[in-house]
Structure 1
């Protein structure tokens, strides 16, 4: 089947994207703030116990993120004036209110990320998914005072209805589609548009450490190599660079050292816009209205 959400658009034929103050790269940092259920399997560092109930080894390894890792990440981001766009499980709001309070103080943006990463979206019927999305957004709004404008599905899972339901609940941008270095418009059923924003499944500590088996130093090298190429390309056509982080991974001391080195390298360059997801999409919609109209009407 064809998804019918957007038409093919080679980056080399597009009108160049311009960023504020002539920036070449918009740096978009996404801390994934997640809650995991004690009796359900999820991201694991050791597969030998992943099917057990309870799986103390992997559950407590993930729990390090909210108890310790996120606080180390917060200090590093503060040092380089980087505001996070937190992909937020709504269950974090009740479970770890201190994290919400810290993010509020730092001016972080809150992006919907399902209720828990122990529950994925694929195979939900439309009514169930709609209830879930509305409940997640309502919960985050009640906790933070702001209704999310962005959404990242747990494990980037969707049904065929997800973009339509998100837009109908007020979501303006979606991070699940990891197929570009620039935002683009997606068609939804109410005739409006939803915007895809460049999330990364590779400049991402989950895949780097758990799938590829990279060392922290290799992850650092990936980040700066990615930045160097996008920065060079961005001289004529600006790019978005996302760095996707999970505190139960990057928050460990031997890894966080290299995250700090990467932030130091990137922020030492001129022409880097330290932006939130909503800032990126708001600018893109304003600066590229004609191209967006053509994308959703063709």
Structure 2
């Protein structure tokens, strides 16, 4: 079947995208702030124990992210004036309120990311999914003081109803579709528009370290190479570059030093707009209006 959510649009046929102050690249950094249940399997570093209940090895490995890794990442982002867009499990709000307070002080944006990464958004009945979305957005708004405008499904999962339900609840952009270097409009019910924002499944520490088996040095080189190509292309048609991070991985000391090197490299270039998801989408919508 066809998804009917958007039309095919080759990037070479589009009107060139312009960013504020002539920037070539919008840098979008997404810390994934997640809670995992003690008795449920999830992303693992050691598969031999992944089916155990409890799985102490993998659970405690993930738990490093909220206890230590996120604080190392926060310090790094502060150093390079990078304001994050946190993909936030709503369970984080009650389980780790200190992280929410730290993000608020830094002016981070909060993007809905389901209840917990121990429960994905696939194969849900419409009513159940709608209630989950409402609960997630309500919990985050109560905890942070602002209702999310963006959404990333846990493990980028959706149902056939997700986009319509997100729009109905006021979401303006979604990051699940990893198919472009620029934002684009998606069709939802009632002739409304929801926007896709470029998220990366490859400039992503989970894929790089756990799927590809890359070293921290190789991840650094991936980020630099991605930036160099997008920066060159962005001279005539601007691009969005996302860096997708999970504190239990990138927050490990031997990895974090290479992310810091990548941040230093990128921020040493002019014509780079460090932006949140909402800032990128809001600006993109104004350029669309001007074009029409």
TM-score with structure 1 setting the length: 0.97
Task: State whether residues 89 and 117 of structure 1, in contact with CA within 8 Å, keep that contact through their aligned partners in structure 2.
Answer: yes
Match for residue 103 of structure 1? 103
1:209-265 Cα offsets, whole Å, 9 max, x none, are: 000000000000000000000000000000000000000000000000000000000
Task: Indicate the SS of the match to 1:195.
Answer: strand
Task: State whether residues 164 and 190 of structure 1, in contact with CA within 8 Å, keep that contact through their aligned partners in structure 2.
Answer: no
**Quick check: 1:278 aligned with 2:269?**
no
1 CA distance for matches of 2:28 and 2:188?
25
2 CA distance for matches of 1:52 and 1:289?
54
Counterparts of 1:195-274 in structure 2, within 5 Å, are 195-274=195-274
- TM-superposed CA distance for 1:190, in Å, is 1.8
2 CA distance for matches of 1:7 and 1:284?
18
Match for residue 296 of structure 1? none
Match for residue 31 of structure 2? 31
2 CA distance for matches of 1:190 and 1:219?
42
**Quick check: 1:138 aligned with 2:138?**
yes
1 CA distance for matches of 2:266 and 2:75?
17
2 CA distance for matches of 1:40 and 1:81?
36
TM-score with structure 2 setting the length: 0.99
2 CA distance for matches of 1:254 and 1:15?
42
- TM-superposed CA distance for 1:289, in Å, is 2.3
1 CA distance for matches of 2:79 and 2:289?
35
- TM-superposed CA distance for 1:116, in Å, is 0.1
2 CA distance for matches of 1:201 and 1:103?
24
**Quick check: 1:91 aligned with 2:67?**
no
1:51-89 Cα offsets, whole Å, 9 max, x none, are: 000000000000000000000000000000000000000
2 CA distance for matches of 1:289 and 1:59?
47
**Quick check: 1:171 aligned with 2:174?**
no
Match for residue 61 of structure 1? 61
- TM-superposed CA distance for 1:290, in Å, is 6.2
Task: Indicate the SS of the match to 1:133.
Answer: helix
Task: Indicate the SS of the match to 1:35.
Answer: coil
Q: Aligned pair in 2 of structure 1 residues 162, 290: CA closer, same or farther (>3 Å)?
A: farther
1 CA distance for matches of 2:182 and 2:258?
26
Task: Indicate the SS of the match to 2:190.
Answer: coil
Task: State whether residues 208 and 214 of structure 1, in contact with CA within 8 Å, keep that contact through their aligned partners in structure 2.
Answer: yes
Counterparts of 1:112-123 in structure 2, within 5 Å, are 112-123=112-123
Match for residue 124 of structure 2? 124
2 CA distance for matches of 1:288 and 1:164?
22
Task: State whether residues 183 and 197 of structure 1, in contact with CA within 8 Å, keep that contact through their aligned partners in structure 2.
Answer: yes
Aligned residues: 292
2 CA distance for matches of 1:94 and 1:289?
40
